[in-house]
Amino acid sequence: MEVPILKQGLYLIASIQAALSDVDLLHLRDALAEKVGKFRARGVIVDVTVLDVMDSFASRTLRDLAHMTRLRGAETVIVGIQPEVAFAMVQLGLTLEGVDTALDLEEGLAFLDKKTKRHTSRG
């Protein structure tokens, strides 16, 4: 399962479409870190709305992804974590500490606009 990565203005949007294997997640992480440079992106949104499980491996990989893109000059925000998934994560002890989150794509875009202090039009 390749995750499509769209470029929207200064942002890259990765919309996960189906359950991802560990290898898929690592690919996503590396692809985003690379594309941030290629497209000179300032922000990254990873939409996990369809993920029905976020285990320790997925949490860790998303955290690493966020840290990697930041080192490359782009902020990452994870959007769409469902309430039940959030519950399971917290019970496991996974809090995505140090990683920004937002409710959904729209809030994620608003968040990046504020964080990257770009109030110019996107797209």
Partner 1 sequence: MASEAVVPIKTDIDIVAARQKGRELATVMGFVSTDSTLLATAISELARNIIRYAKNGEILIASVQSGDRVGITVVARDNGPGIANISLAMQDGFSTSGGLGLGLPGVKRLMDEFHIVSDVNKGTTVTIKKWKR
Based on the shown chain and the rule CB under 8 A, indicate whether residue 24 belongs to the binding site for a copy of itself. Answer: no
Give the tokens for residue 50: 């369809």
* Minimum CB distance to a copy of itself, residue 1 (Å): 21
State which of residues 21, 37, 40, 71 lies at the interface with partner 1 (CB under 8 A).
21
Determine if 36 is a binding residue for a copy of itself (CB under 8 A). Answer: yes
What's the closest the beta carbon of residue 57 comes to partner 1, in angstroms?
A: 6
Note whether 28 binds a copy of itself by CB under 8 A: no
Sequence-separated contacts (24+) of 113-122 with Cβ below 8 Å: 115/43, 115/75, 115/77, 116/10, 116/42, 116/43, 116/75, 118/10, 118/42, 121/9, 122/8, 122/9, 122/10, 122/11
Residues of the shown chain interacting with partner 1 in the complex, contacts defined by CB under 8 A: 19-23, 52-57, 59-60, 84-85, 87-89, 91-94
